[in-house]
Amino acid sequence: MDDITARQRRIVDYISSTVRDRGYPPTVREIGEA
């Protein structure tokens, strides 16, 4: 994933950490608020 912007990287990292912590991905609203 080298061809993504810094914002996209932060979103991917947020989704990954949420899945690790909760076992399911965040909602679109949660991603927008992050």
**Confidence check: pLDDT of 1 > 80:** no
pLDDT at residue 34, as a whole number = 87
Domain ranges (residues) in the chain? 1-34
**Confidence check: pLDDT of 3 > 90:** yes
Each residue's pLDDT tens digit, 16-25: 999 999 999 9
Tell me how far the alpha carbon of residue 32 is from its chain's centroid. Answer: 10
**Confidence check: pLDDT of 2 > 80:** no
Q: Mean pLDDT of all residues in the chain? A: 95
pTM: 0.83
15 touches 25 (CB < 8 A):
yes
